A and B are shown apart, each in its own frame.
Chain A
Amino acid sequence: MEMFDQIFSLLGASIRLATPLMFAAMAGIFSERSGIVDIGLEGKMLISAFASACAAYETGSPWLGLLAGILVSVMFALMHGYASITQRGDQTISGLAVNFLASGLTVVLGHAWYGQGGLTPSVHDERFKSIILPGAEWLGENVPVVGPFYEQVISGHNILVYLAFVSVAAAYWVLFRTRFGLRLRATGEEPNAVDSAGISVAWVRYRAMIVTGVLCGCAGTYLSIAQNAAFQREMTAGRGYIALAAVIFGKWHPKGALGACLLFGFLQSLETRLQSVQLPLVGELPSQVFSAIPYIITVVLLAGFIGKAIAPKNVGVPYVKER
């Protein structure tokens, strides 16, 4: 039983750590499928983490915090959109600018408003708390294996964790089952065709950016007022880039990206549990091994060893109407 407990606690942690990656990866898929390279996921997560922590503290409601996080993140996404769609600027540079702006702005504003060097005051009760699903305790005690699995892995997360899974399903449905999704994908592949069918490429891309903003807002909010209780400088700690790696690893498909996010979350939680533990045969593994794996897998994938990852054909290319 002891072993099952450890495994379930590991799986539970994987899900918690995968949640921000899932939101951000779906955000990345929407943006990249529409033809906009978005390395600004990190920055949007950071600024929305800050906005939601401030709003939750000021209003006392985590939901208003989430709303604020989403609004600010959408604003940043549209900024990136304006630079890369309307102004046809370099999308990588614009994304970087979003990251730098978020990194600087959060500290400056946090310092000006709260005088705690970029920290926001911690919210104790005004955050997303874990939810115990109905029957979790009873099942955990009375049903072997499946019961504890339900109690420790499926139940006991906060609402945003469940929303992240919903967002993956929704992303799949929108992209592959709706007219908007079809147009969005076509815009990333062959914007000329979309344009000649009389659909505005810019409008499709702007809408994709709004979706990206909303999803990044959820990711940031999760970090600051669900998993933690305050905003802290640079608290995203590279998760935006890992999510981008998950997008590539998942071949720009929600299902694949979900798998990649869960894998990366699993590796992260494995890292927290296997540190300074003697493993059979290999002995103690340095923790760096686990932190490096997501990047190594991505590089290996890009080098073509585990199948091919083909990006949308026109990703990163500003659309210019032919005259």
Chain B
Amino acid sequence: MKTTFKVVAGLALSAIAAVSQAQIKPSVIYDMGGKFDRSFNQASYSGAEAFRKETGIKYTDFEITNEGQREQVMLRFAQRGFSPIVVAGFQQAPIVEKVAKQFPKTHFVLIDAVVDLPNVRSVVFKEQEGSFLVGALAAMKTEHDAVGFIGGMDIPLIRKFGCGYEQGAKYISKDINVLQNMTGTTPSAWNDPTKGGELARAQFDKGVDIIYAAAGGTGVGVYQAAVDAGKLAIGVDSNQNYLHPGKMLTSMVKRVDVAVKSAFEDEMKGKFTPGLQVVGLKENGVDWALDEFNRPLLSEEDIAKVQDIRAKIVAGDIKVHNWEDTKSCEY
């Protein structure tokens, strides 16, 4: 009896092994904020989910909840033979660099930061371009000539969002007042809706009537404050228009989902390429969201005007300054 069981178990195991050899073992590591932050990490998650639904190939994922886990998890994933390992979030870059060197055969995909190694693909977005668009739209719709921006943690990436937004607003109206606030300087700034709400209320009191939040989970508090005060908000990373229909002017969509999905697909087809990918409006890497939830807020002219600006940026007629180039917002 025992031996039969062993044989059967052995057969079953080898069958599983045979199947998994033929398939790829993709994985995602989300950053702090969690995969349902309705924002950046959720975009990675929906890309991975879309891949699973289309191909039936399962993936493994992990949500980082403290700094110490980063290296541990990435090492474990690499040891267990996962490839590609999609790593979302700039804070993971140093760890990717370390682990990718130890596992030269494993493919890594780093989102929002750059690591120059032969087995790492780095995907960065031109957030300034998407932010420019939503900034322009905000400037068109404001009634008090004041629009606001609330960032999460004070880092160059978020400054990039804010700077693009400011340029877009000023493109429409030179004298517009653009207020900018950062929630904090530690990772908990991504997860403090209370403070986000208070920052929003402070901006409303200064006359702002549209706020763009690039702040992960903190943004949820910003949107709620906008709803409570009867003002408008602009979402980020994922399309967040559905959160408060009629109160979200639009969302600056960052197609992290596409980046994740195409990384999985490339691996499946054996066409994985390392190197740097910079995607902007032209490559559909960023965009503004227009759907049934925010369409009632916009007139045909508004939509046409935004599309026109979009076309100009794609064609290169409007140059959007990148904060990271000069470490300042001078354009």
Chain A residues with CB under 8 Å of chain B are 5-6, 9, 13, 16-17, 107, 115-119, 122, 130, 223, 227-230, 232-235, 237-238, 268-269, 272-273, 275-276, 287-288, 291
Contacts and interface: CB of A to CB of B under 8 A. Distances in A.
16 contacts: A107-B65, A117-B36, A117-B37, A117-B63, A130-B228, A223-B194, A230-B193, A233-B191, A233-B217, A237-B195, A238-B188, A268-B195, A272-B198, A276-B180, A276-B181, A287-B182
B202 interface: yes
Interface residues of B, number: 32
A122 B224 contact: yes
Contacts, number: 85
A122 B242 CA distance: 13
A13 B195 CA distance: 10
Contacts of B195: 237, 268, 272
B185 interface: yes
Contact of A268 (B36, B188, B198): B198
A321 to B, nearest CB: 42
Nearest to A117: B36
A276 B183 CA distance: 12
A288 to B, nearest CB: 6
Nearest to B36: A117
A273 B208 CA distance: 13
Contacts of A230: 193, 220
B47 interface: no
A108 B183 CA distance: 26
Nearest to A130: B228
A237 B192 contact: yes
Contacts of A234: 188, 191
Nearest to B34: A117
Contacts of A6: 205-206
A123 to B, nearest CB: 10
Given A119-B36, A268-B198, A275-B181, 9 more contacts: A9-B201, A16-B198, A17-B194, A117-B37, A119-B34, A119-B38, A275-B182, A276-B181, A291-B185
Contacts of A119: 34, 36-38, 217, 220
A272 B220 contact: no
B188 A269 contact: no
Contacts of B246: none
Contact of B185 (A17, A237, A287): A287
A119 B193 CA distance: 12
A115 B42 CA distance: 12
A140 B217 CA distance: 35
B286 interface: no
Contacts of B201: 9, 13
Contacts of A122: 220, 224, 243
B81 interface: no
B241 to A, nearest CB: 15
Contacts of B205: 5-6, 9
B207 to A, nearest CB: 10
B270 to A, nearest CB: 33
Contacts of B188: 234, 237-238
10 cross-chain pairs, A with B, having the tightest CB-CB distances, nearest first:
A117-B36, A9-B205, A117-B34, A116-B36, A237-B192, A272-B202, A272-B199, A228-B193, A229-B224, A273-B202
